[in-house]
Amino acid sequence: MKTTRRDFIKITSMGAGGLAAGASPFVNWSIDFLNEDQIVPDDSKLKRVPTYCEVCFWKCAAWAYVNDEGKIVKLIGHENDQNSNGRLCPRGTGGLGMLEDENRLTKPLIREGEPGSQRFREASWDEAFDFIVKKMNKIEEKYGKESMALFFHGTTGPHFEYLWEAYGSDTMAEPAIAQCLVPREVGFKATFGKGLSSPEPTDIRNTRCLVLIGNHIGENMHNGHVQEMSQAIDNGATIITVDPRFSTAASKSKYWLPIRPSTDLALLLAWMHVIIKEELYDKEYVEKYTYGFDLLKNHVKSFTPEWAYTKTDIEPEIIRRTAREMAGAAPAVIIHPGRHTVWYGDDTQRTRAIAILNALLGSYGRKGGFYFPEKKRLAKYPHPEFEEPKWTWKTITKDKYKLTPLGATNVLIDHSLPENKSEYKIKGWFVAATNILVSIPDAEKTKRAIQNLDLLVAIDTMPAEITGYADVVLPEAVYLERYDFIRAAQHRKPHIALRMPVVEPKGDSKPGWWIARELGIRLGLEKYYPWKNIEEVLDWQLKKEGTSLAEMKKTGIKYFDKEDYLFIPDGADWEFNTPSGKIELFSNLLAADGYPGLPKFTEHKQNPQGFYRLIYGRVPMHTFGRTVNNPYLNTLRSQNHVWINPKVAKDWGIENGQKIWLENQDGVISTFAVEVRVTERINSNAVYLPHGFGSTGKKLSRAYGRGASDSEMITNVKIDPETGATGMRENFVTFLLENPHKEKQEV
């Protein structure tokens, strides 16, 4: 039996039979190797244009290969780039699909129907800008400039952040913070005096032991980390993976710890207990660089592996053995901090525990542990002073969530709701390159906020859910059609990368910098835009650094001398940017604001009878929901599957491949059905649902209605008190075998 060749991913159980071919003499080779017909031009006949990728946040530098018709034929990683090492991931390689997608936004649109109706009329840029400016002026008159909020993501963000600063509002947030990495940033800042930022400075390629806690490297294609994990495997490093799901990383691990979901902090405390009790910690490092060891020692005294076993289901002996394995590799050990760390609402506490464990093992600032990254700080193009807003995101966030360094999208949404009685009201939104109806939990609440707005402008390349709710949609050119600011990402050595247009923008779409500047001028902010186009700004910045735009167009990347140490030199004195100047095992920063100074374990709700914890994650060929419509990447994975353990499937009489609907603890039912994948890779208390599918955006012809959306099922949000981050993993789902929407229609 043949499987269809259209299934590029074949999932089989053991045993792959083949057709038996009869015995026959070997065929002789004909010698026409060099004379073969070949329609593919070789690389030497193609022109290379530098860019950096926008299909995810890793921003790998790349070359676009262009044929003599001016068409991009392929995208290849830039050989001198530290983020990609010359190798893009599938999404970067398939970045051509972002360009080709026939569903792209190519005209400014003004909404005609009700919000969410997706009924728009095409408009000119002038008309769209006039509409926006008129509305903004009204909002300013009635509520003040601060009532205009900006939500953003990716390289589009900085153009609009600048516009906002020039305009006089600092009411801004990006989902990448409170819906993703902020607990980890604060956990590491509190411990080491500095957050980790991106790409995370983990020296994976030199490590001898990599510990992944719910972090599925290889399913998340964080390119550099995936590459370095592979090098670590080649070097014989031990991998320890903690995950209730048998992830790809778990399958590469010496130890897989199938933990009871939500109990990671108990395991971390028990590891600390073993490492301190058995005196496996780095005594010299702890003595020289840390503060609060005795407090920590006392704190973890009762957190024995036997105690942790009752919480985590991990055998005490395995907890001891893995702790010893880590210590044996130290300081070349990484308890990986993860990235999407908004899980249970005690996420700063958990990531603090991860930071402390690294400190005990002496891995921070050490080879095979964490390196000190360096980035080139480019000069800012001169501009007149910005007007000081009367209130900012801080005013409405920092009173409750004292330690967040950046705005929380959910807090700004709360202040947009009709029931918001505070004096700080948000009445207009700009949403730039982020689909906040999917990236922010509880979409119904977001929709209620939208109903209460006087203006919603969406800037995007694709007709995502959020653009359907916008009053005005501004079509942005895709990354291969535009300049953006120089990428000056941190890494082992400081380097910068250029993105320049490879082809002309499609239709009436325009680069983000152009949209922001044009709008700025129409808002009377000419003085902040003394330059005519972004090339002037880039060239000015680059010339300050001994290069130029012309040179960067040829090289794509430029390196600079390293100014700081990559690791702490042996035995050197070192000051950390914490209140004590040391690595704080006990955090003065947290304690000063009334938060626990030592990691506090909290029990979390387990799954009710007949319900299963919803665990979500990534598939390697997609970036959230942004790429499911990409014609290349869609053919790799066009829908998600809900993973169900065979025992659970048997109890329910559910078969592999069957379509079911999901209902969560709050009675929310998935809009679309999802196919079941019956697999041993998930435990019987939980289900796994890859994120980004089940789009309700009707104009996304390949993504609409394909699978179920995990975001829809996330209505119970556990807020992290330190940061305001939205913990999303305390949601439970049950199964509906009949179409619930059909029943409703019949009644």
Partner 1 sequence: MRYGMAIDTKKCVGCSDCVVACQTENNIPHGYARDWISETVSGTYPELTLEIRSERCNHCDNTPCVRTCPTGASHVIEGGIVKVTHEECIGCGACVESCPYDARYFHPDGYVDKCTFCDHRVKNGQDPACVSVCPTYCMYFGDLDDPNSEVSKKIATRKTKVLAPEAGTKPQIFYLI
- The interface with partner 1 within residues 39-78 (CB under 8 A) comprises 39-40, 42-44, 73-77
Give, to the nearest 10 degrees, the angle between helix 347-360 and helix 264-277.
20
- Least spacing, CB of residue 709 vs partner 1, in Å: 22
Nearer to partner 1, 358 or 627 (CB): 627
Choose the stretch contacting partner 1; rule: CB under 8 A; options: 139-147, 629-637, 654-662, 728-736: 629-637
Q: Which residue, 63 or 281, is less far from partner 1 as judged by CB?
A: 63
Report DSSP letters for 454-521, one per residue: SEEEEEESS--HHHHT-SEEEEBPPGGG---PPB---BSS-EEE----SSPPSTT-B-HHHHHHHHHH
- Compare residues 27 and 550 and give the one whose CB is closer to partner 1: 27
Tell me, residue by residue from 242 to 271, as one string, x for binding to partner 1 by CB under 8 A and - for no binding.
----x-x--xx---x-x-------------
Query: Is residue 12 near partner 1 by the rule CB under 8 A?
Result: yes
**Interface with partner 1 includes 21 (CB under 8 A)?**
yes
Q: Name the nearest CA neighbour of 709 among 730, 695, 723.
A: 695
From 51, 82, 83, 93, residue interacting with partner 1 (rule: CB under 8 A): 93
Nearer to partner 1 by Cβ, of 35 and 577: the residue is 35
Rounded to an integer, what distance in angstroms lies between the CA atom of residue 427 and that of residue 139? Answer: 7
Place of tokens 């048998």: 246
Torsion of Cα atoms, 114 then 117 then 119 then 125, to 10°? 80
Return the ∠ at Cα 93 (arms to 160 and 78), rounded to 5°: 80
Contact at 8 Å (CB) between 308 and 288?
no
- Out of 110, 636, 669, 736, the only residue in the binding site for partner 1 (CB under 8 A) is 636
Q: Which is nearer to partner 1, 182 or 237 (CB)?
A: 237
In the bound state with partner 1, the residue whose beta carbon lies nearer, of 182 and 257, is 257
Residue 27 makes contact with partner 1 by CB under 8 A: yes
| Closest to 480 (Cα-Cα) out of 94, 20, 83 | 94
Q: In 3D, which of 241, 312, 218, 326 has the Cα closest to residue 276?
A: 326
**Candidates 123-131, 231-239, 296-304, 590-598 — which segment interacts with partner 1 by CB under 8 A?**
231-239
Read off the tokens for 250: 């778990």
Q: Please identify, among the stretches 138-146, 193-201, 227-235, 451-459, the one whose residues bind partner 1 according to the rule CB under 8 A.
A: 227-235
Assess 230 for contact with partner 1 (CB under 8 A): yes
Is residue 565 near partner 1 by the rule CB under 8 A?
no
Dihedral sign for Cα atoms in the order 393, 395, 396, 401: positive
Question: Least separation, in Å, of the C-beta of 679 and partner 1?
Answer: 6
Site for partner 1 in 165-224 (CB under 8 A): 218-219, 221, 223
Give which of 709, 733, 682 is closest to 628, Cα–Cα.
709
Pairing outcome for strands 238-242 and 290-291:
unpaired
Smallest separation (angstroms) from partner 1 to the CB of 76: 7
Least CB distance to partner 1 at residue 630 (A): 10
One residue of 358, 410, 435, 679 binding partner 1 per CB under 8 A: 679
- The residue within the footprint of partner 1, chosen from 535, 593, 651, 680 (CB under 8 A), is 680
Q: Which of residues 596-625 bind partner 1 (CB under 8 A)?
A: 620-621
Residue closer to partner 1, measured from CB, 527 or 647: 647
Q: Is 235 in the site for partner 1 (CB under 8 A)?
A: no
Q: Which residues of 96-114 are buried (b: 16+ CB within 10 A; e: fewer)?
A: bbbbebebbbbbbbbbeee
Separation CA 456–CA 469 (nearest Å): 8
Q: Work out the end-to-end distance of the chain between its first and last CA atoms, rounded to an integer number of angstroms.
A: 44
Choose between 321 and 522: whose C-beta lies nearer to partner 1. Answer: 321
For residue 688, the minimal CB distance to partner 1 (Å) is 12
Least gap, CB of 240 to partner 1 (angstroms):
14
**CA 456 to CA 89: how far, in whole Å?**
34
